Every structure is written in structure tokens, then in C-alpha cells.
Structure 1
């Protein structure tokens, strides 16, 4: 998990894909943290991404490095919003305070369960990690 966290934080913007009815939906994300030994992300419960993940928790995250390596992370989303997880997120990325507040009824924390990460380079699969 730590290698996945490092890749995502080193490459700043990554993309989260959800299922939207019969279609995929993809959007950029930029926040990730390790919390309670889980790889956690955040969103607002007023957003389509939240509604899509509640309807179908399967997701995929993809990120690419400037060197041409990339990561694909598959799993199921589990929402785990607590005051403590919200505080941890705001401490890690203070700019989120411009959007969310602890206990605001909108700010949601989730992690990827049954996660399988695959690292690639331009020619081959280089490594698979399950957590």
C-alpha cells in the first residue's frame, strides 16, 4: 500500500473512474492519505462521484508518471467518514478547508477495499500488489 500511496502523491493528479449507469465516468482527484492502515480519499456527498460510488462501489484509479510509468488500482469503495478521518485529511491537505469542514454534513472519506494495484512501464506489467 505504501508504494501505491507514494506513486499517487508523487504524481499529484490521478483519475478515478466510476460506473454511471451503463457508462464509465472519469474525473481528476488530487488527495490521498494513509489513515487507519487504509488508502483513503475524499469527496463531497453532493457530487455525482459520491452518488455513483454509493450506487456501485466498484472503481478504478489510474495515474501516470513523467517517466512513462503508470498505476492502475481497482477495488470497492467503503465510506468511512468520522470526525477523526476528516481532521486527518484537513491536516494533510489544508487547502481542503476552503471546501470542507469537519462535521459539515458534506465532507466524506472513503477507502478502497479489495484493492489490487498494478504498476506498468511502457512495455510490461512490472508489479501487482493486493491489499
Structure 2
């Protein structure tokens, strides 16, 4: 999991794909944290992505750096605990002007049943599961 975290952190921006019952949806994200041995991300309850993940929690993530990329298949699990929100916001302080722990809009989620595939055009893919 640390290798996945480090790669995403290095990329800065990554993309999450969800499903809205009619079309796939892809949008950029840039939050990442490790809390209690799980990989966490953040969004807002007012955003469509939150409602899409509630209804269809299986997501895919893609992050690229140069000629290398990472694809992740996982299930998003929302964590309503204030401790999880605080930890992520401390790890991503640039979110603080817009989000506060317990504000009713901030929401964090972790990934479970993760299959992460590191790829490039020169070597065999490396698969990490957690």
C-alpha cells in the first residue's frame, strides 16, 4: 500500500472513475492519506461523485507520471468518523479553507479490495493487492 500511496503522492493529480447508472464519470482528485493502515481520499457530500460512490462503490483510479502509470480497482468505503476527517485534512492542509472536520459536507473514504497495477511500455506490469 505504501508504494501505491507514494506513487499517487508523486503524481499529485489522479483520476477517479465512477458510474452514475447511465454513463461512466471521470474527475481529477489530489487528496491522499494513510490512516489506520488504509488508503484514504476525500470529497464533498454535495458533489455528484459522492452520490455515485454511495450507489455504486466500485471505482477505478488512474495516475500517470511520465511513461509510467498506475491503475487501481477498488471499493470505496465512507468513514464518517471525525478522527478520519481530521487526519486527512491534516495531511492535506490546502483543503482547510473549504472543509472542516464535522462540517456536514466534508467526507472521507478508504479503499478496500484493492488491485493496483503499475505499468509502462517497457516492463511487465506489477500487481499489488491489499
Corresponding position of 1:23: 23
Corresponding position of 1:34: 34
Corresponding position of 2:47: 47
Corresponding position of 2:95: 96
1:38-80 CA-partner distances (Å, limit 9, x unpaired): 00000001100000000100100000012x1000000111001
- 5+ unaligned residues in a row in structure 1: which ranges? none
Q: Offset of 1:102 from its aligned partner?
A: 1.0
Task: Give every structure 1 segment of 4 or more consecutive aligned residues whose post-TM-superposition deviation is greater than 3 Å.
Answer: none
Moved more, 88-97 or 45-54: 88-97
TM norm structure 1: 0.95
CA RMSD after TM alignment: 1.0
In 2, the alpha carbon distance for the partners of 1:125 and 1:49 equals 33
- 5+ unaligned residues in a row in structure 2: which ranges? none
1:70-124 CA-partner distances (Å, limit 9, x unpaired): 0000011100121111111111111111110111011101011101000001245
Give runs of aligned pairs for residues 40-119 of structure 1, distance below 5 A: 40-66=40-66, 68-119=67-118
In 1, the alpha carbon distance for the partners of 2:16 and 2:109 equals 13
* 3-state secondary structure, aligned to 1:98: coil
- Please tell me whether the aligned partners of residues 83 and 103 of structure 1 are also in contact (alpha carbons under 8 angstroms): yes
